Amino acid sequence: MWQIPAGGGEERAVGIRVSGWYYQVMDDGIYFIAYRDRTQAEIRFFNFATRAERVVQALGQVRFSSRFAVSADRKTFLYALVEGPGSDLMMVENFR
């Protein structure tokens, strides 16, 4: 992830590794999902002013299937998980 000043200037790396589309930018920082050791996921927050990163919530060993959202009051996080591979097979008679 990169940042650039609104008034122009050099771009620079923010210094965090974001997994896919699993992040949301706020006024003071970025909430994002990261993997601690390739298997254990966490919701983290990166503060723009301090450039510090902190763990908000450990999620455990999970796989994500959709984007990530944070409520305005920052008390609720929305994400979809993959429970396991699978599919449904249906037969439709007299389909037109």
Number of domains in the chain: 1
pLDDT of the residue at 54: 95
Q: What is the 3-state secondary structure (H, E, C) of 5-58?
A: CCCCCCCEECCCCCCCCCEEECCCEEEEEEECCCCEEEEEEEECCCCCEEEEEE
Q: Is the pLDDT of residue 37 over 90?
A: no
Average pLDDT, the chain: 86
pTM for the predicted model, two decimal places: 0.76
Q: Is residue 91 part of a domain?
A: no
pLDDT tens digits, 46-87: 999 999 999 999 988 887 777 789 999 999 998 887 776 777
pLDDT band at residue 24 under the 50/70/90 scheme: very high
pLDDT band at residue 30 under the 50/70/90 scheme: very high
Q: Is residue 10 part of a domain?
A: yes
Q: How far apart are CA 39 and CA 44, in angstroms?
A: 15
Q: Is residue 90 part of a domain?
A: no
pLDDT of the residue at 66: 72
Q: Is residue 7 part of a domain?
A: yes
Q: Is residue 22 part of a domain?
A: yes
pLDDT of the residue at 51: 93
Q: How far apart are CA 18 and CA 4, in angstroms?
A: 17
Range of the domain at 41: 2-81
- Order of strands across the sheet with 23-25? 23-25, 29-35, 40-47, 53-61
Q: Is residue 63 part of a domain?
A: yes
